[in-house]
Structure 1
Amino acid sequence: MSNEMLWVGFALFDLTMVVVLHRLFGKAGLYGLIVFNLILCNVQVLKTVQLFGLTTTLGNVLYASVFLATDMLGELYGKAEAKRGVMLGFTVLVLATVYMQIALAFTPTADDFAQPHLEAIFGVLPRIALASMAAYLVSQLHDVWAFHFWKSRTGDSMLWLRNNASTLVSQLLDSSIFCVVAFWGVFPGPVLLEIMFTTYAFKSFVALLDTPFLYLARRVGTVAGRAGS
């Protein structure tokens, strides 16, 4: 299977799972997905791949669906719950970084095989995590603000507008901050710019793709919600 087919399939699957987790577990499912996707995308982002002839990092699908989760929290449960999801993700990302650095500090046994692999992945995690935390806070708090800015002007109509108007700008902030902090000096300038451009392009594609899933989530609700109605 080509990278392109795999990436599109993965994006559709991940966005579907956001709706499924909300359907099964309500806002708790969205909180759990935010935490899970944030941790995993900071590992996946270390891998660069070719997609549609462009160089980009993995992790953009998982990270883009975090915006869907926070938009769902804002749309269905209110601005306070969306902010709570953002801060929960930030807190867990900090803890994951600290915990893995503590794990690496332990002296392994002579026959241990995991340490070099863990160091290869998590040894660079502090810089990746710092970039991710800075980009995450700025972009997600902007996304929550912008989403409700547009909602205050559109009411319950034009969900597609507030979803995309907030997310597309937020993704631009996120990609710019993350790539500069994470990869400045790691890649040559032209490669860094290509990664920044392609990262934003692919995240934007997923952001546009997630709009039907937001409508679907609002329509199907949750198991708990239907049971209590």
Structure 2
Amino acid sequence: MSNELLWLVLMVANFTSILIFYRYFGKTGLFIWTALATIIANIQVLKTVELFGFVATLGNIVYGTTFLVTDILSENYGKKEARKAVLVGFLSLITMTIMMQIALLFKPDASDFSQDALVTIFSFMPRIVIASLAAYWLSQLHDIWAFHLWKKRLPQTKYLWIRNNLSTMISQFIDSFVFCFIAFWGVYELNIFWSILWTTYFFKWIVAAADTPFLYVAKFLYDKGKINELVKNEA
């Protein structure tokens, strides 16, 4: 199976997973997904692949889904709940980094076969996490702010796609720019670096556009009372 087809399959799998988490666990499920997505994305981003003739990093899809999550929360629950999801992702990354750095300090047994692989992945993780935290915090807060800005100007449900895309696509640029400069400047040759930056944004832009139908599905499920909230809102 080609990388391009796998990429499309992975994108659909991510969006479908979000709807499943949301349908059966409500906004709690979206918080859980945010924690999973931020951790998975920061591991996948270490792998570079060729997609549609360009060099790109993995992790773009699963990380891009965190913007769909905050847009769902913003639309259905408000700005406060969306910001909670950002904080969940932020703390999840910090926690993972601390735990894995401590794990690397343990002296492996002679029977161990994973230490070298773990060092390869997680010894680079602090720089990735610093880059991700800065990019994630700035871009997500902008996304929430911009979404509600457009919601005030275009409150009707039929304009949901405009609110989603205008807020997310600009936020994705902020994210890609900040992340790549902190994480990869000086790591790759300049031609590879610029290719990663622009293709990262391009693929995130595609993800942002592709998530729109799933946002409408989430809105439909919420409006029809089909969401199983684990924690009921107090009246």
TM-score, normalized by the shorter chain, greater than 0.5? yes
Specify the alignment match of 1:93 in structure 2.
Answer: 93
TM-score by length of 2: 0.94
Q: Any residues of structure 2 matched to 1:22-41 within 5 Å, and which?
A: 22-41=22-41
Structure-2 separation of matches of 1:117 and 1:49 = 19
Aligned residues: 227
Task: Name the SS for the 2:112 alignment partner.
Answer: coil
Residue 35 of structure 2 corresponds to residue 21 of structure 1: no
**Which whole-Å deviations, capped at 9, do the CAs of 1:89-131 have from their partners, x for residues lacking one?**
1011111111110111111223322211110110100000011
Residue 210 of structure 2 corresponds to residue 177 of structure 1: no
Specify the alignment match of 2:68 in structure 1.
Answer: 68
Report the alpha carbon displacement of residue 20 of structure 1 after superposing the two structures with TM. Answer: 1.5
Structure-2 separation of matches of 1:96 and 1:169 = 28
Structure-2 separation of matches of 1:122 and 1:156 = 45
Structure 2 residue runs without a partner (length 5+): none
Specify the alignment match of 1:223 in structure 2.
Answer: 228
Structure-1 separation of matches of 2:71 and 2:221 = 16
Structure-1 separation of matches of 2:69 and 2:192 = 31
Task: Name the SS for the 1:112 alignment partner.
Answer: coil
Residue type matched to 1:223 in 2? N
Task: Name the SS for the 1:26 alignment partner.
Answer: helix
Preserved CA contact (<8 Å) 2:56 2:200: yes
Q: Percent identity?
A: 49
TM-score by length of 1: 0.96
Structure-1 separation of matches of 2:132 and 2:229 = 33
Q: Calculate the aligned-residue CA RMSD, in Å.
A: 1.5
Residue type matched to 2:166 in 1? A
**Which whole-Å deviations, capped at 9, do the CAs of 1:164-189 have from their partners, x for residues lacking one?**
00000000000011111100111011
Preserved CA contact (<8 Å) 2:46 2:57: yes
